[in-house]
Amino acid sequence: MAREEGGGGEAQGGTVVTPSAEFPPLAEAELATLRGIGARWRPGGRPGELPVDPTLGRYRRRPPSRFGRLAPIELFKVEEPDELVATEPANLPGSRWGRAVTRLRRALFGPPLSSAAVLYERMRKLVALPILSSDLLSSVAYGPEAMLSVLVLAGSGSLGLSLPLAAALVVLMIAVGLSYRQTIPAYPHGAGSYIVAGDNLGVTPGLAAAAGLMLDYVLTVSVSVAAGVHAVTSALPGLTWATVPLGVLVIAVLLAGNLRGVRTAGNIFVLPTYAFVVAVLAVLAVGYLRAAGRGFAPVPPPTVPAAEGVGLLLVLRAFASGAVSMTGIEAVSNAVPAFRPTEWRNARTTLGWMVTMLVVLFAGLTVLIHLAGLVPRPDETVLSQLGRLTFPTGPWYALLQVTTALILLLAANTAFNDFPRLLFFMARDGHAPRRFLHMGDRLAFSNGLVALAVAATVVFVAFGGHTEALIPLYAVGVFLAFTLSQAGMVVHWRRRRGRGWRHRLVLNALGATLSGLVLLTAAVAKFTEGAWVVVVAVPLLVLLFHRIHRHYATLHRALALHRPPAAGAGPAPTGAGPAEGEELPQQVRHLVVVPVARLNRASLRALAYAASLGQPTLAVHIAPEEAEADRFREQWRAWGDQVRLETIVSPYRAVIGPLAHYLEALHASRPELTLTVIVPEVVLRRRRHRPLHSRAEQRLRTALRPLPGVVVTSVPVHIAE
């Protein structure tokens, strides 16, 4: 995909996450231009020696007074001749308020981590399995129930349809699993749907997959947190009222944990995931033993009146709802480089284990629920009902609920890992705001984390924390990404034509077709239930990503280096070049303008600064009345008329407007001039004194911003009190 404008590019290292991504290297053509510019560079005046040692050699024995407390700590260390390394205290902001905020943040999220601490951890399969499968396996906590919730609308009699639907879903799981199994060796550096679809199908499908994934991650957090809270309120119905605040709290804790960086906490995943699997397996074992005792005769479910008839649409809706059990199946293919060597082989094995476990848990639970004659109830999850039935006494039921809540929490956490990474790759390609490239001081992509938490909280609160209401939105985004990723693999095999490519192509085509069918089913059957939101949002997001990319591309072109024109090579071009076209010192023609309101220390300092630059200088005074203008000129003469003064009478008493227009007019009369507007700025120490001042300096700066060729210089005067 078109990665050249966004900077980065394949050379930068595919799926490697690095803090240097904010500073992409220059292309060879740009370096050549740079050499050409350098050859014609003629500095003005007497640049000569620096009046100060830039390596702070002398300074280190004399720390500045404002940081008296930090005196014993050196803020910078000298490394190479022209290189300093900032130590940790050098990151503290200068203002008291800023330092307090930074301290609080560090207390919450820990001290900053050095770039050198970026870890490229390698995982054993037995560790990778729980980490990568929490999202997938946790879905069985709500997937079968989502399916039954639809079927029960046609009355309890139609609940038996869950068995054939489960069989179809198992086929789908295996097909998609096999399909992803093939992706892994083909993309050993990681095969996110965004990358696979983008590489093989083009930019727009890649962005569509990214949009689907982004919605998927947001909904993963919302749905997992909703289901986790539901697991808790099923066990403790007294907490039902607190569903929404509890969920928001959980999202906040997840955000805080991820801002802190839970990288060393990979092991946290191991226990709950395995515990959940064991707990569900125990439920299955005990349940099937009991069922065997009565000859596998199903308990008839309580009679529920039918709200609608059993139609094709209902069955399709139930199928699409059940399919959300597959969310998270793509996790392994994203994370191939995190495995120990041989990476792709270990990853593939792990994926096999995961899909097997998914099939066992999903099918086992669906059948057992049918045998037990359970019906979805709004106040208690089906899994909780099954747990109570299976373990009427003892701590086992509580354990099941705790592990369910924990694995759902971990599933939500998975999205917190993947969402910022996806945004990082998109930002590197110029499809997302560049701020998502920035690693916070804990080496986490703080901006992406916050964006995810905000979006998930909005969705969670808007839907009142109800899992069922979110499911229709969920399936569409997930299966869009599945379909595009596997369709991308089909194209991949057709292009590469490696060993056995036909066989592989057929397998991926099958996966793509089945995923596509589920996507269509979900989008159509659940359109009115909420899927329309996703159907509308994905194209809008793709459009947005394209627009962002266009902006960055324009910017890149506008800022790209180009060789100075041949005329500029001479000692002093006299022709009127375009404003801001200068790239060589000898091309810059100066006019210094100093707006002066009254003659005091601040304005005299600005005038002295201006005069010290040794360039043509003009002072401008805006007077509200003729009388005041005369008075000011008198003061100017008393000072000795050191600088040419132009007075502008502004009979309507506006200052900024006429000044900006005057500067614009000056510039229009000689467009090749660079106007340097030197503004005296009184800096107040206390924020509460600000309302006593008009902040004319800021307003002038804002008014001058759009003018080309106008440079604004603030000469500060600091007021002690």
Binding test (CB under 8 A) with its own copies, winner from 2, 16, 26, 536: 26
Site string for its own copies, 509-548 (x = CB under 8 A): ---------------------------------------x
Question: Which residues have a Cβ under 8 Å from the Cβ of 309 and sit 6 or more positions away?
Answer: 154
Q: Which is nearer to its own copies, 15 or 240 (CB)?
A: 15
412 class by beta-carbon count within 10 Å (0-12 exposed, 13-18 middle, 19+ buried): buried
> Considering the complex, what minimum distance in angstroms separates the CB of residue 113 from its own copies?
7
Write the secondary structure of 463-502 as one string of H (helix), E (strand) and C (coil): CCCCHHHHHHHHHHHHHHHHHHHHHHHHHHHHHHCCCCHH
Element containing residue 78 per DSSP (H, E): strand 76-78
Q: Which stretch binds its own copies (CB under 8 A): 186-194, 272-280, 505-513, 599-607?
A: 599-607
Distance CA 467, CA 127 (A): 29
- Report the nearest approach of its own copies to the CB of residue 58 (Å): 5
- Contact between 168 and its own copies by CB under 8 A: the answer reads no
d(CA 235, CA 237): 6
As measured in angstroms, the least distance from the Cβ of 588 to its own copies is 4
Region binding its own copies by CB under 8 A among candidate stretches 93-101, 249-257, 320-328, 367-375: 93-101
The piece of 220-228, 251-259, 348-356, 669-677 that touches its own copies (CB under 8 A) is: 669-677
Show the DSSP H helices in 560-682 as ranges: 601-612, 626-639, 656-669
Q: Which of residues 548-577 bind its own copies (CB under 8 A)?
A: 548, 551-552, 554-555, 558-562
Alpha-carbon torsion angle 125, 130, 131, 135, nearest 10 = 130
Q: Per residue, what are the HEC states of 89-128? A: HHHCCCCHHHHHHHHHHHHHHCCCCCHHHCCCCCECHHHH
Which residue from 122, 435, 466, 563 is in contact with its own copies, where contact means CB under 8 A?
435
Q: What is the spatial distance between Cα 308 and Cα 87, in angstroms, rounded to a whole number? A: 68
Please select the residue that binds its own copies; options are 267, 303, 342, 600, rule is CB under 8 A. Answer: 600
| Binder among 95, 267, 342, 356 for its own copies (CB under 8 A) | 95
Structure tokens given for 156: 């309890």
We find the least distance from the C-beta atom of residue 564 to its own copies, in angstroms, to be 10
Q: Residues 611 to 630: which contact its own copies by CB under 8 A? A: 611-618, 622-625, 627-629
Return the H-helix or E-strand segment holding 695: none
Phi-psi category of residue 430: left, alpha or beta, with phi > 0 → left and psi -120 to 50 → alpha: left
**Count of CB atoms situated within 10 Å of the CB of 358:** 25
- Pick out residues in 245-274 that bind its own copies (CB under 8 A): none
Three-state secondary structure readout of 490-537: HHHHHHHCCCCHHHHHHHHHHHHHHHHHHHHHHHHHCHHHHHHHHHHH
Distance CA 7, CA 553 (A): 10
Closer residue to its own copies in complex, CB, 336/602: 602
Name which of 478 and 593 has its Cβ closer to its own copies.
593
* Residue (414 or 447) nearer to its own copies, CB: 447
Q: How many residues bind its own copies (CB under 8 A)?
A: 174
- Looking at 60-68, 148-156, 299-307, 508-516, which segment touches its own copies (CB under 8 A)? 60-68
- Asked whether position 345 contacts its own copies by CB under 8 A, the answer is no
Pair 677, 613: CB distance under 8 Å: no
Peptide bond before 342: cis, by omega within 30 degrees of 0?
Answer: yes
State which residue, 27 or 458, has the beta carbon closest to its own copies.
Answer: 27
701-720 footprint of its own copies as x/- string (CB under 8 A): x-x-xxxx-xxxxxxxxxxx
Minimum CB separation of residue 428 from its own copies in Å reads 14
Binding to its own copies, residues 287-306 (CB under 8 A): none
591: contact with its own copies by CB under 8 A: yes
Which listed range, 293-301, 453-461, 494-502, 673-681, lies at the site for its own copies (CB under 8 A)? 673-681
Task: Give min distance, CB of 38 to its own copies, in A.
Answer: 3
Looking at beta carbons only, is 69 or 718 nearer to its own copies? 718
Dihedral of CA atoms 517, 518, 524, 529 in degrees, nearest 10, equals 180
Q: What is the enclosing helix (H) or strand (E) of 569?
A: none
Contact residue for its own copies among 11, 47, 238, 264 (CB under 8 A) = 47
| Min separation Cβ 618 and its own copies, Å | 5
Q: Does 38 bind its own copies (CB under 8 A)?
A: yes
* 105 touches its own copies by CB under 8 A: no
- Report yes or no: 424 and 437 within 8 Å, Cβ to Cβ: yes
Binder of its own copies out of 201, 219, 229, 439 (CB under 8 A):
439
Q: CB-wise, 380 or 441, nearer to its own copies?
A: 441
**Of 13, 16, 44, 71, which one interacts with its own copies (CB under 8 A)?**
44
Residue 120 lies near its own copies (rule: CB under 8 A): no
3-state secondary structure of 232: helix
| Closest among 55, 718, 706, 16 to 424, alpha carbons compared | 16
Q: Does 113 bind its own copies (CB under 8 A)?
A: yes
N residues, the chain: 721
- CA dihedral (559, 565, 568, 574) in degrees, to 10, reads -100
**12 forms part of the interface with its own copies (CB under 8 A):** no
Least separation in angstroms between CB 641 and its own copies: 8
